[in-house]
Chain A
Amino acid sequence: MDIIEAKNIWKNYKIPHEKKNTLFEALYGLLDSKMGYTSFTALQDINFTVKKGEWLGVIGHNGSGKSTLLKIIANTIRPTKGKITVNGKITSFLELGIGFQPDLTAKENIKIYGAIMGLSDSEVDNRIDSILEFGGLTRFKDTKTKNFSSGMIVRLAFSTAVQIEPEILLLDEVLAVGDLDFQRKSFEIFEGYREMDKTVVYVSHDLSTVQRFCDKVLLLSHGEQIGIGEPSEMIQLYQSIVSSTPSQCPL
Protein backbone atom coordinates (compact mmCIF):
# COMPACT_ATOMS: atom_id res chain seq x y z
CA MET A 1 0.00 0.00 0.00
CA ASP A 2 1.22 3.47 -0.82
CA ILE A 3 1.59 5.49 2.33
CA ILE A 4 2.58 8.69 0.56
CA GLU A 5 1.69 9.46 -3.03
CA ALA A 6 2.77 12.69 -4.71
CA LYS A 7 1.39 13.54 -8.13
CA ASN A 8 2.66 16.50 -10.19
CA ILE A 9 3.53 18.62 -7.21
CA TRP A 10 4.31 22.26 -8.04
CA LYS A 11 5.03 25.01 -5.60
CA ASN A 12 5.39 28.64 -6.54
CA TYR A 13 6.30 31.31 -4.07
CA LYS A 14 5.47 34.92 -4.70
CA ILE A 15 8.35 37.06 -3.64
CA PRO A 16 7.19 40.64 -3.36
CA HIS A 17 9.74 43.23 -4.36
CA GLU A 18 8.79 45.07 -1.23
CA LYS A 19 7.44 42.86 1.49
CA LYS A 20 3.93 44.11 2.13
CA ASN A 21 3.16 43.52 5.73
CA THR A 22 0.65 46.24 6.41
CA LEU A 23 -2.68 47.07 4.92
CA PHE A 24 -1.42 50.50 3.90
CA GLU A 25 1.43 49.01 1.93
CA ALA A 26 -0.94 46.54 0.30
CA LEU A 27 -3.29 49.36 -0.75
CA TYR A 28 -0.37 51.42 -1.96
CA GLY A 29 0.90 48.39 -3.89
CA LEU A 30 -2.41 48.10 -5.72
CA LEU A 31 -2.02 51.64 -7.00
CA ASP A 32 1.64 51.43 -7.80
CA SER A 33 2.15 48.76 -10.43
CA LYS A 34 5.91 48.81 -10.03
CA MET A 35 5.52 47.08 -6.69
CA GLY A 36 4.94 43.64 -8.13
CA TYR A 37 5.85 40.09 -7.41
CA THR A 38 8.57 37.85 -8.69
CA SER A 39 7.44 34.30 -8.97
CA PHE A 40 9.83 31.69 -7.69
CA THR A 41 9.26 28.06 -8.50
CA ALA A 42 10.46 25.99 -5.57
CA LEU A 43 9.20 22.66 -6.88
CA GLN A 44 8.16 21.57 -10.32
CA ASP A 45 6.37 18.41 -11.24
CA ILE A 46 7.47 16.11 -8.44
CA ASN A 47 6.14 12.56 -8.55
CA PHE A 48 6.87 9.70 -6.20
CA THR A 49 5.30 7.12 -3.95
CA VAL A 50 6.46 5.71 -0.65
CA LYS A 51 5.31 2.29 0.48
CA LYS A 52 4.79 1.14 4.03
CA GLY A 53 8.10 0.52 5.77
CA GLU A 54 10.10 2.28 3.11
CA TRP A 55 12.72 4.95 3.74
CA LEU A 56 12.80 7.67 1.13
CA GLY A 57 15.91 9.80 1.13
CA VAL A 58 15.76 13.28 -0.38
CA ILE A 59 19.03 14.85 -1.45
CA GLY A 60 20.07 17.93 -3.38
CA HIS A 61 22.01 21.15 -2.95
CA ASN A 62 20.85 24.01 -0.76
CA GLY A 63 17.72 25.59 -2.18
CA SER A 64 16.79 22.60 -4.29
CA GLY A 65 13.38 22.32 -2.65
CA LYS A 66 13.93 19.49 -0.17
CA SER A 67 12.47 21.27 2.83
CA THR A 68 9.59 22.70 0.81
CA LEU A 69 8.72 19.18 -0.28
CA LEU A 70 8.80 17.95 3.29
CA LYS A 71 6.51 20.79 4.41
CA ILE A 72 4.06 19.90 1.67
CA ILE A 73 4.03 16.27 2.81
CA ALA A 74 3.48 17.49 6.37
CA ASN A 75 0.58 19.67 5.15
CA THR A 76 1.87 22.85 6.78
CA ILE A 77 2.09 24.45 3.33
CA ARG A 78 -0.06 23.56 0.34
CA PRO A 79 1.15 22.84 -3.21
CA THR A 80 0.27 25.36 -5.92
CA LYS A 81 -0.65 22.50 -8.22
CA GLY A 82 -0.81 18.75 -7.86
CA LYS A 83 -2.02 16.37 -5.24
CA ILE A 84 -0.46 14.72 -2.26
CA THR A 85 -2.09 11.81 -0.49
CA VAL A 86 -0.91 10.59 2.88
CA ASN A 87 -2.36 7.54 4.61
CA GLY A 88 -1.40 7.67 8.24
CA LYS A 89 -0.46 9.97 11.04
CA ILE A 90 2.55 12.11 10.34
CA THR A 91 5.20 13.09 12.83
CA SER A 92 7.07 15.94 11.25
CA PHE A 93 10.39 17.35 12.25
CA LEU A 94 10.68 20.58 10.28
CA GLU A 95 12.99 23.56 10.67
CA LEU A 96 14.71 21.70 13.51
CA GLY A 97 11.64 21.58 15.70
CA ILE A 98 8.23 20.15 16.36
CA GLY A 99 6.34 23.25 17.41
CA PHE A 100 7.64 23.93 20.88
CA GLN A 101 6.59 27.20 22.48
CA PRO A 102 9.47 29.13 24.04
CA ASP A 103 7.43 30.27 27.05
CA LEU A 104 6.57 26.78 28.21
CA THR A 105 8.79 24.34 30.08
CA ALA A 106 10.19 21.19 28.50
CA LYS A 107 7.58 19.10 30.29
CA GLU A 108 4.64 21.30 29.25
CA ASN A 109 5.83 21.29 25.66
CA ILE A 110 6.04 17.51 25.63
CA LYS A 111 2.49 17.32 27.01
CA ILE A 112 1.14 19.63 24.32
CA TYR A 113 2.96 17.68 21.65
CA GLY A 114 1.49 14.45 23.00
CA ALA A 115 -1.97 15.99 22.73
CA ILE A 116 -1.23 17.05 19.13
CA MET A 117 -0.38 13.45 18.31
CA GLY A 118 -3.61 12.30 19.91
CA LEU A 119 -2.24 10.68 23.05
CA SER A 120 -4.23 10.74 26.26
CA ASP A 121 -2.85 12.52 29.32
CA SER A 122 -1.78 9.32 31.04
CA GLU A 123 -0.07 7.97 27.93
CA VAL A 124 1.99 11.15 27.73
CA ASP A 125 2.80 11.16 31.45
CA ASN A 126 4.17 7.61 31.17
CA ARG A 127 6.58 8.68 28.47
CA ILE A 128 7.88 11.98 29.78
CA ASP A 129 10.72 10.47 31.79
CA SER A 130 12.02 8.32 28.96
CA ILE A 131 11.79 11.24 26.52
CA LEU A 132 13.82 13.49 28.81
CA GLU A 133 16.32 10.72 29.49
CA PHE A 134 16.86 9.97 25.82
CA GLY A 135 17.60 13.62 25.15
CA GLY A 136 19.82 13.81 28.24
CA LEU A 137 17.65 16.62 29.60
CA THR A 138 16.14 15.17 32.78
CA ARG A 139 17.65 17.98 34.86
CA PHE A 140 15.99 20.62 32.71
CA LYS A 141 12.44 19.32 32.71
CA ASP A 142 11.06 22.47 34.35
CA THR A 143 13.17 24.91 32.37
CA LYS A 144 11.46 27.05 29.75
CA THR A 145 12.59 26.03 26.31
CA LYS A 146 13.52 29.61 25.47
CA ASN A 147 16.48 29.11 27.80
CA PHE A 148 17.61 25.98 25.96
CA SER A 149 20.58 25.95 23.59
CA SER A 150 19.89 25.02 19.99
CA GLY A 151 21.39 21.58 20.55
CA MET A 152 19.15 20.99 23.56
CA ILE A 153 16.03 22.06 21.65
CA VAL A 154 16.79 19.71 18.79
CA ARG A 155 17.56 16.83 21.14
CA LEU A 156 14.34 17.39 23.06
CA ALA A 157 12.28 17.74 19.89
CA PHE A 158 13.81 14.68 18.29
CA SER A 159 13.44 12.46 21.34
CA THR A 160 9.83 13.60 21.76
CA ALA A 161 9.10 12.92 18.11
CA VAL A 162 10.56 9.41 18.12
CA GLN A 163 9.18 8.30 21.48
CA ILE A 164 5.59 9.17 20.63
CA GLU A 165 5.32 6.25 18.21
CA PRO A 166 5.14 7.88 14.82
CA GLU A 167 3.55 6.09 11.89
CA ILE A 168 5.20 8.24 9.28
CA LEU A 169 8.25 10.24 10.23
CA LEU A 170 9.52 13.25 8.29
CA LEU A 171 13.07 14.16 9.24
CA ASP A 172 14.84 17.30 8.06
CA GLU A 173 18.54 17.46 9.02
CA VAL A 174 17.96 16.06 12.47
CA LEU A 175 21.49 14.93 13.16
CA ALA A 176 23.23 18.12 12.15
CA VAL A 177 23.36 19.62 15.63
CA GLY A 178 23.63 16.55 17.87
CA ASP A 179 26.93 15.33 19.28
CA LEU A 180 28.44 11.91 18.55
CA ASP A 181 26.74 10.24 21.47
CA PHE A 182 23.35 11.57 20.39
CA GLN A 183 23.99 10.47 16.81
CA ARG A 184 24.82 6.98 18.01
CA LYS A 185 21.57 6.80 19.99
CA SER A 186 19.65 8.11 17.00
CA PHE A 187 21.12 5.46 14.74
CA GLU A 188 19.92 2.80 17.19
CA ILE A 189 16.42 4.27 16.91
CA PHE A 190 16.68 4.29 13.13
CA GLU A 191 17.74 0.63 13.10
CA GLY A 192 14.74 -0.12 15.28
CA TYR A 193 12.44 1.70 12.85
CA ARG A 194 13.72 -0.35 9.97
CA GLU A 195 12.78 -3.50 11.85
CA MET A 196 9.42 -2.07 12.89
CA ASP A 197 8.50 -1.20 9.30
CA LYS A 198 8.08 2.52 9.97
CA THR A 199 7.79 4.79 6.96
CA VAL A 200 10.35 7.57 6.91
CA VAL A 201 11.17 10.49 4.63
CA TYR A 202 14.71 11.51 5.37
CA VAL A 203 16.24 14.78 4.17
CA SER A 204 19.96 15.10 4.74
CA HIS A 205 23.25 16.31 3.38
CA ASP A 206 24.97 13.45 5.15
CA LEU A 207 25.17 11.06 2.21
CA SER A 208 26.60 8.18 4.24
CA THR A 209 23.49 7.95 6.45
CA VAL A 210 21.28 8.28 3.37
CA GLN A 211 23.14 5.35 1.83
CA ARG A 212 22.92 3.37 5.05
CA PHE A 213 19.20 3.73 5.83
CA CYS A 214 17.27 4.64 2.70
CA ASP A 215 15.61 2.20 0.30
CA LYS A 216 15.32 4.77 -2.43
CA VAL A 217 16.44 8.29 -2.99
CA LEU A 218 14.88 11.31 -4.66
CA LEU A 219 17.38 13.72 -6.18
CA LEU A 220 16.30 17.33 -6.57
CA SER A 221 18.05 20.20 -8.30
CA HIS A 222 16.57 23.72 -8.48
CA GLY A 223 13.14 22.31 -7.75
CA GLU A 224 13.27 19.74 -10.49
CA GLN A 225 13.14 16.02 -9.97
CA ILE A 226 16.41 14.76 -11.48
CA GLY A 227 15.72 11.18 -10.60
CA ILE A 228 14.41 8.67 -8.13
CA GLY A 229 15.92 5.26 -7.57
CA GLU A 230 18.66 3.23 -5.92
CA PRO A 231 20.52 5.23 -3.26
CA SER A 232 24.01 4.49 -4.58
CA GLU A 233 23.01 5.43 -8.12
CA MET A 234 21.38 8.71 -7.07
CA ILE A 235 24.23 9.68 -4.78
CA GLN A 236 26.65 9.13 -7.65
CA LEU A 237 24.47 11.20 -9.95
CA TYR A 238 24.32 13.96 -7.34
CA GLN A 239 28.07 13.96 -6.96
CA SER A 240 28.59 14.14 -10.71
CA ILE A 241 26.20 17.14 -10.93
CA VAL A 242 28.00 18.91 -8.13
CA SER A 243 31.44 18.39 -9.67
CA SER A 244 30.31 19.38 -13.16
CA THR A 245 28.77 22.71 -12.17
CA PRO A 246 31.24 25.40 -11.19
CA SER A 247 30.88 26.76 -7.71
CA GLN A 248 28.43 29.61 -7.66
CA CYS A 249 30.05 31.46 -4.83
CA PRO A 250 33.70 32.16 -5.63
CA LEU A 251 35.74 32.49 -2.50
Chain B
Amino acid sequence: MIKNLCKYRCLVKRLAVSDFNVRYKNSVLGFFWSLLDPLLMLMVLYIIFVDVYPSTQKNYHLFLLLGIVLWDFFTKGTSMGLSSIINKPGLVRQVYIPREILIFSSSITALMMAVLELGVFGAFMASSGLIPTSTIIYFPFIFLNIFILVFGTSLALGALNTYYRDIQYIWAVILQAGFFASGIFIDFSTYQGEFKNLLLLNPMARIILISRESLLYNTVVSSSDLIYCFASSIVMLVIGYLIFINLEPGFAEEV
Protein backbone atom coordinates (compact mmCIF):
# COMPACT_ATOMS: atom_id res chain seq x y z
CA MET B 1 0.00 0.00 0.00
CA ILE B 2 2.77 2.41 0.90
CA LYS B 3 4.48 1.60 -2.39
CA ASN B 4 1.32 2.48 -4.31
CA LEU B 5 0.89 5.73 -2.44
CA CYS B 6 4.43 6.77 -3.32
CA LYS B 7 4.14 5.69 -6.93
CA TYR B 8 0.94 7.65 -7.45
CA ARG B 9 1.85 10.73 -5.40
CA CYS B 10 1.21 13.01 -8.40
CA LEU B 11 -2.30 11.62 -8.62
CA VAL B 12 -2.86 11.97 -4.87
CA LYS B 13 -1.85 15.61 -5.11
CA ARG B 14 -4.12 16.30 -8.10
CA LEU B 15 -7.12 14.56 -6.55
CA ALA B 16 -6.66 16.24 -3.19
CA VAL B 17 -6.37 19.69 -4.75
CA SER B 18 -9.28 19.17 -7.12
CA ASP B 19 -11.52 17.93 -4.28
CA PHE B 20 -10.56 20.96 -2.27
CA ASN B 21 -11.46 23.26 -5.16
CA VAL B 22 -14.69 21.46 -6.06
CA ARG B 23 -15.88 21.72 -2.48
CA TYR B 24 -16.12 25.48 -2.58
CA LYS B 25 -16.99 25.97 -6.24
CA ASN B 26 -20.26 27.84 -6.78
CA SER B 27 -19.99 29.48 -3.36
CA VAL B 28 -19.43 33.20 -3.14
CA LEU B 29 -16.98 33.10 -0.23
CA GLY B 30 -15.12 30.10 -1.61
CA PHE B 31 -12.59 28.52 0.63
CA PHE B 32 -13.16 31.14 3.34
CA TRP B 33 -16.02 28.89 4.36
CA SER B 34 -13.48 26.43 5.69
CA LEU B 35 -12.27 29.19 8.01
CA LEU B 36 -15.70 30.58 8.86
CA ASP B 37 -17.02 27.17 9.73
CA PRO B 38 -15.07 26.69 12.99
CA LEU B 39 -15.45 30.36 13.90
CA LEU B 40 -19.24 30.19 13.68
CA MET B 41 -19.18 27.08 15.85
CA LEU B 42 -16.91 28.89 18.30
CA MET B 43 -19.40 31.73 18.47
CA VAL B 44 -22.26 29.39 19.30
CA LEU B 45 -20.38 27.48 21.96
CA TYR B 46 -18.83 30.60 23.44
CA ILE B 47 -22.21 32.24 23.84
CA ILE B 48 -23.63 29.14 25.49
CA PHE B 49 -20.78 28.40 27.83
CA VAL B 50 -19.60 31.83 28.79
CA ASP B 51 -22.92 33.62 28.90
CA VAL B 52 -25.18 30.91 30.22
CA TYR B 53 -22.64 29.12 32.40
CA PRO B 54 -20.00 31.68 33.39
CA SER B 55 -16.74 29.82 33.26
CA THR B 56 -13.66 30.45 35.30
CA GLN B 57 -11.36 29.33 32.50
CA LYS B 58 -8.93 31.94 31.27
CA ASN B 59 -8.72 32.09 27.49
CA TYR B 60 -11.78 29.89 27.24
CA HIS B 61 -12.23 30.88 23.58
CA LEU B 62 -8.83 29.39 22.72
CA PHE B 63 -9.68 26.29 24.71
CA LEU B 64 -12.87 25.89 22.69
CA LEU B 65 -11.40 26.79 19.32
CA LEU B 66 -8.57 24.27 19.55
CA GLY B 67 -11.06 21.53 20.35
CA ILE B 68 -13.32 22.60 17.52
CA VAL B 69 -10.50 22.72 14.98
CA LEU B 70 -9.11 19.31 15.87
CA TRP B 71 -12.53 17.70 16.06
CA ASP B 72 -13.36 19.29 12.69
CA PHE B 73 -10.31 17.64 11.18
CA PHE B 74 -11.56 14.26 12.36
CA THR B 75 -15.18 14.89 11.30
CA LYS B 76 -14.39 16.27 7.85
CA GLY B 77 -11.67 13.72 7.18
CA THR B 78 -13.74 10.68 8.06
CA SER B 79 -16.87 12.01 6.35
CA MET B 80 -14.97 12.66 3.13
CA GLY B 81 -13.21 9.31 3.41
CA LEU B 82 -16.55 7.61 3.91
CA SER B 83 -17.84 8.82 0.55
CA SER B 84 -14.53 8.91 -1.31
CA ILE B 85 -15.15 5.61 -3.12
CA ILE B 86 -18.84 6.02 -3.95
CA ASN B 87 -18.39 9.63 -5.02
CA LYS B 88 -15.95 8.74 -7.78
CA PRO B 89 -17.59 5.85 -9.60
CA GLY B 90 -15.72 6.69 -12.82
CA LEU B 91 -12.34 6.20 -11.18
CA VAL B 92 -13.46 2.86 -9.77
CA ARG B 93 -15.34 1.38 -12.72
CA GLN B 94 -13.61 2.74 -15.79
CA VAL B 95 -9.93 2.72 -14.94
CA TYR B 96 -7.84 0.79 -12.51
CA ILE B 97 -6.01 2.72 -9.85
CA PRO B 98 -5.14 1.34 -6.43
CA ARG B 99 -8.30 2.39 -4.60
CA GLU B 100 -6.56 3.36 -1.37
CA ILE B 101 -5.45 6.43 -3.33
CA LEU B 102 -9.02 7.75 -3.34
CA ILE B 103 -9.21 7.40 0.43
CA PHE B 104 -5.75 8.76 1.03
CA SER B 105 -6.35 11.82 -1.13
CA SER B 106 -9.55 12.57 0.79
CA SER B 107 -7.55 12.48 4.03
CA ILE B 108 -5.02 14.84 2.45
CA THR B 109 -7.82 17.24 1.50
CA ALA B 110 -8.97 17.19 5.12
CA LEU B 111 -5.39 17.80 6.24
CA MET B 112 -5.15 20.86 4.00
CA MET B 113 -8.35 22.25 5.47
CA ALA B 114 -7.20 21.51 9.00
CA VAL B 115 -3.93 23.35 8.44
CA LEU B 116 -5.88 26.41 7.31
CA GLU B 117 -8.09 26.20 10.39
CA LEU B 118 -5.04 25.86 12.58
CA GLY B 119 -3.79 29.07 11.01
CA VAL B 120 -6.94 30.78 12.25
CA PHE B 121 -6.33 29.31 15.69
CA GLY B 122 -2.76 30.58 15.58
CA ALA B 123 -3.99 34.07 14.73
CA PHE B 124 -6.39 33.98 17.68
CA MET B 125 -3.65 32.79 19.96
CA ALA B 126 -1.32 35.58 18.89
CA SER B 127 -4.05 38.20 19.28
CA SER B 128 -4.65 36.96 22.83
CA GLY B 129 -0.98 37.44 23.58
CA LEU B 130 -0.45 33.79 24.31
CA ILE B 131 2.95 32.61 23.11
CA PRO B 132 3.42 28.85 23.14
CA THR B 133 6.52 27.60 24.89
CA SER B 134 8.79 24.66 24.14
CA THR B 135 5.96 22.20 24.82
CA ILE B 136 4.72 23.09 21.33
CA ILE B 137 7.11 20.46 19.98
CA TYR B 138 4.59 17.78 20.92
CA PHE B 139 1.94 19.25 18.73
CA PRO B 140 3.20 18.18 15.27
CA PHE B 141 3.25 14.57 16.52
CA ILE B 142 -0.25 14.89 17.90
CA PHE B 143 -1.41 16.40 14.62
CA LEU B 144 0.18 13.57 12.62
CA ASN B 145 -1.52 11.21 15.01
CA ILE B 146 -4.93 12.59 14.07
CA PHE B 147 -4.04 12.18 10.40
CA ILE B 148 -3.23 8.49 10.91
CA LEU B 149 -6.47 8.05 12.85
CA VAL B 150 -8.44 9.79 10.09
CA PHE B 151 -6.84 7.69 7.34
CA GLY B 152 -7.32 4.41 9.21
CA THR B 153 -10.95 5.17 10.05
CA SER B 154 -11.57 6.30 6.46
CA LEU B 155 -10.19 3.05 5.03
CA ALA B 156 -12.74 1.11 7.05
CA LEU B 157 -15.66 3.48 6.49
CA GLY B 158 -15.03 4.06 2.79
CA ALA B 159 -14.89 0.33 2.09
CA LEU B 160 -17.89 -0.57 4.26
CA ASN B 161 -20.01 2.25 2.91
CA THR B 162 -19.48 1.01 -0.63
CA TYR B 163 -21.30 -2.19 0.32
CA TYR B 164 -23.72 -0.85 2.92
CA ARG B 165 -24.89 2.70 2.50
CA ASP B 166 -26.28 2.70 6.05
CA ILE B 167 -22.80 3.32 7.32
CA GLN B 168 -23.05 6.99 6.39
CA TYR B 169 -26.13 7.45 8.59
CA ILE B 170 -24.71 5.46 11.47
CA TRP B 171 -21.46 7.41 11.25
CA ALA B 172 -23.31 10.73 11.31
CA VAL B 173 -24.85 9.72 14.65
CA ILE B 174 -21.50 8.55 16.02
CA LEU B 175 -19.91 11.85 15.05
CA GLN B 176 -22.73 13.71 16.75
CA ALA B 177 -22.12 11.73 19.94
CA GLY B 178 -18.38 12.22 19.57
CA PHE B 179 -18.82 15.98 19.41
CA PHE B 180 -20.20 15.90 22.95
CA ALA B 181 -17.98 13.11 24.25
CA SER B 182 -14.62 14.33 22.98
CA GLY B 183 -14.25 17.13 25.44
CA ILE B 184 -14.58 20.05 23.08
CA PHE B 185 -16.16 22.06 25.92
CA ILE B 186 -15.18 19.75 28.78
CA ASP B 187 -11.80 20.12 30.43
CA PHE B 188 -10.80 16.56 31.20
CA SER B 189 -7.83 17.73 33.28
CA THR B 190 -10.22 19.07 35.93
CA TYR B 191 -13.42 17.14 35.18
CA GLN B 192 -14.03 14.43 37.78
CA GLY B 193 -17.23 12.76 36.59
CA GLU B 194 -17.68 9.04 36.99
CA PHE B 195 -17.36 8.44 33.24
CA LYS B 196 -14.07 10.29 32.93
CA ASN B 197 -11.93 7.22 32.33
CA LEU B 198 -14.48 5.74 29.97
CA LEU B 199 -14.65 8.95 27.95
CA LEU B 200 -10.87 9.15 27.77
CA LEU B 201 -10.77 5.79 26.00
CA ASN B 202 -11.90 7.75 22.95
CA PRO B 203 -8.61 8.64 21.25
CA MET B 204 -9.97 11.99 20.04
CA ALA B 205 -10.83 13.04 23.61
CA ARG B 206 -7.31 12.30 24.74
CA ILE B 207 -5.80 13.93 21.64
CA ILE B 208 -7.73 17.13 22.31
CA LEU B 209 -6.72 17.01 25.96
CA ILE B 210 -3.00 16.66 25.28
CA SER B 211 -3.10 19.23 22.47
CA ARG B 212 -4.37 21.78 25.00
CA GLU B 213 -1.63 20.79 27.40
CA SER B 214 0.96 21.25 24.70
CA LEU B 215 -0.29 24.52 23.18
CA LEU B 216 -2.21 26.33 25.92
CA TYR B 217 -0.97 25.13 29.30
CA ASN B 218 2.75 24.63 28.61
CA THR B 219 2.50 21.23 30.19
CA VAL B 220 4.81 18.37 29.37
CA VAL B 221 2.59 15.75 27.80
CA SER B 222 2.72 12.45 29.67
CA SER B 223 4.29 9.70 27.61
CA SER B 224 1.53 7.26 28.53
CA ASP B 225 -1.01 9.61 26.94
CA LEU B 226 1.12 9.96 23.83
CA ILE B 227 1.62 6.21 23.56
CA TYR B 228 -2.09 5.56 24.07
CA CYS B 229 -3.03 7.97 21.27
CA PHE B 230 -0.40 6.68 18.92
CA ALA B 231 -1.17 3.02 19.58
CA SER B 232 -4.90 3.50 19.10
CA SER B 233 -4.31 5.26 15.78
CA ILE B 234 -2.08 2.43 14.58
CA VAL B 235 -4.63 -0.17 15.68
CA MET B 236 -7.30 1.73 13.75
CA LEU B 237 -5.03 1.86 10.72
CA VAL B 238 -4.48 -1.90 10.82
CA ILE B 239 -8.19 -2.64 11.28
CA GLY B 240 -9.06 -0.21 8.49
CA TYR B 241 -6.48 -1.74 6.20
CA LEU B 242 -7.74 -5.28 6.81
CA ILE B 243 -11.36 -4.31 6.16
CA PHE B 244 -10.28 -2.40 3.09
CA ILE B 245 -8.23 -5.13 1.39
CA ASN B 246 -10.97 -7.67 1.99
CA LEU B 247 -13.68 -5.55 0.42
CA GLU B 248 -11.66 -3.83 -2.31
CA PRO B 249 -11.99 -6.53 -5.04
CA GLY B 250 -15.74 -5.97 -5.34
CA PHE B 251 -15.76 -2.15 -5.37
CA ALA B 252 -16.45 -1.82 -9.12
CA GLU B 253 -19.50 -4.06 -8.83
CA GLU B 254 -20.92 -2.33 -5.75
CA VAL B 255 -20.16 1.33 -6.30
Interface residues of chain A, those whose CB is within 8 Å of chain B, are: 13, 21-24, 26, 71, 74-78, 90, 92-95, 97-101, 103-104, 108, 111-113, 115-116, 118, 120-121
15 residue pairs A–B, Cβ–Cβ below 8 Å: A21-B164, A23-B167, A74-B95, A76-B95, A76-B252, A77-B252, A94-B94, A97-B94, A99-B88, A99-B95, A101-B18, A111-B14, A113-B95, A115-B8, A118-B10
A118 CB to nearest chain B CB (Å): 8
B165 within 8 A of A: yes
Range for the number of chain B residues in contact with chain A: 20 to 34
In the bound complex, residues from chain B placing their C-beta under 8 Å from that of A77 are: 249-250, 252-253
Known: A24-B166, A26-B164. A101 touches B94 (CB 8 A): no
Instruction: Please determine whether A92 and B96 come into contact, CB atoms closer than 8 angstroms.
Output: yes
Complex formed: what's the CA distance from A120 to B90 in Å? 22
Tell me the interface secondary structure of chain A in the complex: mixed
Distance in angstroms between the alpha carbons of A24 and B22 in the assembled complex: 33
**Which chain A residue has the least Cβ–Cβ distance from B15?**
A112
Are B94 and A92 touching (Cβ within 8 A)? yes
Is B88 in contact with A101, judged by CB distance below 8 angstroms?
Answer: yes
CB of B145 to closest CB in A, whole Å: 29
| Given A23-B167, A75-B96, residue A97 in contact with residue B14 (CB < 8 A) | no
Q: What separation, in Å, do the CA atoms of A103 and B24 have in the docked complex? A: 12
Interface residues of B, dominant DSSP: helix
What 1/0 flags go to B150-165 for Cβ under 8 Å of A?
0000000000000011
Chain A residues contacting B5 (CB-CB under 8 Å) are none
Contacts of B39 in A (CB 8 A): none
Q: How far does the alpha carbon of A44 sit from the alpha carbon of B78 in the complex, in Å?
A: 40
CB-based nearest A residue for B87: A101
Q: Does B11 contact A (CB under 8 A)?
A: yes
Q: Is B210 an interface residue (CB 8 A)?
A: no
Check if B196 is an interface residue, CB within 8 A of chain A: no
- What is the bound-complex CA distance between A21 and B170, given in angstroms? 14
| With A13-B253, A76-B252 as contacts: A22 and B166 at CB distance below 8 Å | yes
B97 proximal to A (CB < 8 A):
yes
Find chain A residues with CB under 8 A from B253 CB: 13, 77
Name the CB-closest residue of A to B166: A23
Instruction: Give Cα A118 to B92, complex, Å.
Output: 17
Q: Are A95 and B11 interface neighbours, CB within 8 A?
A: no
B159 CB to nearest A CB, Å = 14
Q: Check B175 for interface membership: any CB of A closer than 8 A.
A: no
Chain A residue with Cβ nearest B251: A76
Interface bits B1-21 vs A (CB < 8 Å: 1, else 0): 000000110110111001000
Please name all residues of chain B whose beta carbon is closer than 8 Å to the beta carbon of A118 when the two chains form the complex.
7-8, 10
Residues of A close to B8: CB separation below 8 A: 115-116, 118
